Structure 1
Amino acid sequence: MVDTAALLTAYDTQMRMPPGAVPAGVRHEHDGPLLRIVGGYVGRLRAPRDVGVSGARLDRLIARQRDYFQARGEGVEWKLRAHDLPAELPERLVAAGFVAERPSTVLIGVAAEVAGDPVLPGGVELRQVTSEEDLRRVGDHQSLVWGIDGSWVSGDLISRVAADPGQITVLVAEAGERIVCTAWSLYHPGTDFVALLGGTTLPDWRRHGLYRAMLAARAREAVARGFRLLHVDASPDSAPILRRAGFHEITTSTHYHWTPPR
C-alpha cells in the first residue's frame, strides 16, 4: 500500500521551489514568501503551501506581483495547489484579475516501478536531443499538436540546456524524419524528484504506446541517476495512462494567469 500522505509531504517539501541551475536569461527574485521567476516567456510565481498572510496583506502581496509584471509589459502565472493556504487565495487572485486555467492532476510515481525498456511501434526510433536545431523542432511539434505558438517551448529548452545540460533530458520519437512524440525530464538536484514534462503525441500516432514508452525511458534514466520519485502535472488525456503505469494522485494544481491589458 502506497502512503500517499507521505508522497504529498515529500512533494510539498521538495517541489515548491525550483532548485539547481537557473535557465539562461532567467533570474529568481524573492518577495516575502514568494519566488518570482523573471525573464521567461511569462513571469512565474512559486510559493510554499501556506503563504502566511491573509486579507488585506494577501491582497497587497498579489497586487505587487501583478503590478511588477505589468510594468514589464508581461503576463504572469501563479501556480496554486488544491490544498494550499489560505483558503481564500483563489478568490483573492480572481479579484486581482487573475484567470484560472483548467486544473491538472498532480501524480507521483516511484521511478523503479515505472522504469523499463521502451516498447516502440515499428519504424519509430527514440533519441535524446540537445542541439538548437532539434530543440526548435520540438517547439514546432508542440505548435502543430496544440495549435499554439510553441516557439517559447524551444526557447525554454535551449536556455535550460545552456544553463546545465545535466539537469534536463529531451527525447523525441521519430518515424523517419517526422517527430511523432516529444517529452522531457527536469532533474531536481538535492531532491528525490524528476519532473516529467512535455509528453505530446501527434493525433494520428496516439494509442500506439508512445507516451508509455517515453515514461519507461525517462523513469529508467531517473533510476540510473539516483532519483526515486517522478512528478507529473497531468492533463485529462495523460492522467489515465499514468494511473495505469502506477502513478498516484496526491492533489490538483491550477495556474492562475494575469495578462496585461492591451
Structure 2
Amino acid sequence: MGASGHVTTRKPLCGAAPGYRSKISTSAVVKGSGMAGITPEVAERVYAATISGYGTGAPAAVRGALGIGETRFGGGVALAVRADPSRCWSLAAGFGFTEPVTAGLVGRITDFYRAAGVTSATLQLAPSVLPADWPALAEAAGRVRQPPWVKIGAAAEEVAAPRPATDLVIRRILGDELGRWADVVLAGSGLPAGLQGMITGAMVRPGVAAYAAFDGTELVATGGLRVHEDVAHFFSGATLPHARRRGAQSALLAERARAAVAAGCRLLVGETTGEGPGEHNSSLRNVLRAGFGKLYEVQNWLWRPGYLGVRTSGSPARSLG
C-alpha cells in the first residue's frame, strides 16, 4: 500500500468496514526527531483495518465475481480475493499484538486461504512480533520470504506545511469520478484491470477520501486517505507513466496531510516498497522528502497451495458474496 509514488502501489489498500472503529490507543505514540514515533501496533492495526475495507466495501456483485472473503481473529485481518488477476490482493496483517504468533495462528490463516480457494496469499508481520523460532515455523508452514515493505510515519502538521510546486491541479475527487480514479490506481501501479469495482467500493466507506492530480481534464495521479481516529493512513499513490516527474505525488502528500489535520489527525502512517543497494525507489524518496520517516521494515511471507504447511481446524472463509 503505498503512500506515494508509482512504484508503491503493488497492492493499493483502502477503506473501512461498516461499523468498524478501532480502539487503538495512541498513548504509546511519542514524538521522534522530526517525525512521529508510531508504535508497530498502531501502524499495523491501522493498515489491517484499511485492508478490511476491500472485503466489506465492495458491492455484492463484485464480491461474488471476485470471490472475496474475509476473516478476523487474533487481532488481525485476512482478506482473500480468489479471482484476483494480479494475485497480490490476498493479504493477512495486524497479527501478533492481541495474541502471539504461533504455529496454530499461522495454520489458522493458512486454513482460511485454502478454504477460500486462492492461488497465493501474503502474510505481513512486524519484526517486533516474530517469535524466536520464526524461521523454523515459517518453513514448516510453507511461508517463503519476499521483499519487505517499509513502514513510514510522520507528524501530520509537518507534512501539511509545504506546498510543493506542480503544474497539475490537485483536488479531492467526486463520487462519479471514482471509476477513473481506480483505473489510474491500477494502470499507474502496473496492475491488470478487473479490480475497479473492489477499489471504488472501498473508497465510499466512511472516513475514506480519494485525491487526484489532473492535467487539464485528464486524471493522471492518485492518492488515498483514510481517517482512523487521530491517525490518517495514506495509500494508493500511483501516477501514469507519462505524467511522472511533475510533482504530482509530492503535492498529493501535502494535500492529504492538510485534510488529515483538518479532520483532527496528528499522525500519518503508510507503507512503500524498500530500496536495495544500487536501487532508486522514487516513492520512498518522495515520502522522505515530504517529512515522513522510516519506522521499520515489515516482512512479506508468501504462501501458495501445495506448500507443506501447518494445518488446524481454523475458521472457514466467510463469503462476502
Taking structure 1 as the reference length, the TM-score comes to 0.79
Residue 176, structure 1, aligned to residue 205, structure 2 = no
CA contact (8 A) 2:203 2:210 kept: no
Partner letter of residue 186 of structure 1?
Answer: R
Residue 65, structure 1, aligned to residue 109, structure 2 = yes
Cα displacement string for residues 98-143 of structure 1 (whole angstroms, at most 9, x for unaligned residues): 3333212111111111114744533x22232242x53222232233
Partner letter of residue 80 of structure 1?
Answer: L
Q: 1:188 to 1:156 in 2, by over 3 A?
A: farther
- Gaps in structure 2 of 5+ consecutive residues: 1-29, 59-67, 274-280, 307-321
Aligned residues: 250
Q: Distance in 1 between matches of 2:36 and 2:161?
A: 25
User: RCO (CA 8 Å, sep 6+): is it higher in 1 or 2?
Assistant: 2
Q: Distance in 2 between matches of 1:212 and 1:100?
A: 31
Q: 1:145 to 1:35 in 2, by over 3 A?
A: closer
Partner letter of residue 244 of structure 2?
Answer: R
CA contact (8 A) 2:74 2:95 kept: no
Match for residue 100 of structure 1 among 133, 141, 145? 145
CA contact (8 A) 1:139 1:150 kept: no
What's the % identity of the aligned pairs?
25
Q: 1:36 to 1:139 in 2, by over 3 A?
A: same
Q: Distance in 2 between matches of 1:140 and 1:117?
A: 29
Q: Distance in 1 between matches of 2:94 and 2:127?
A: 13
Match of 1:68, SS state, is helix
1:36 Cα deviation after fit: 3.3
CA RMSD of aligned residues (A): 3.1
CA contact (8 A) 2:185 2:237 kept: no
Match for residue 248 of structure 1 among 275, 293, 306? 293
Q: 1:237 to 1:32 in 2, by over 3 A?
A: same
1:135 maps to which residue? 178
1:52 Cα deviation after fit: 4.8
Pairwise mapping of residues 44-193 of structure 1 onto structure 2 (< 5 A)?
44-50=91-97, 52-53=99-100, 58-74=102-118, 75-89=120-134, 91-116=136-161, 118-119=163-164, 121-122=166-167, 124-131=168-175, 134-152=177-195, 154-164=196-206, 167-189=207-229, 192-193=230-231
Taking structure 2 as the reference length, the TM-score comes to 0.66
CA contact (8 A) 2:232 2:267 kept: yes
CA contact (8 A) 1:50 1:85 kept: no
Q: Distance in 2 between matches of 1:53 and 1:19?
A: 19
Segment drifting more, 138-147 vs 212-221: 138-147
1:14 Cα deviation after fit: 6.1
Residue 16, structure 1, aligned to residue 45, structure 2 = yes
1:157 Cα deviation after fit: 3.1
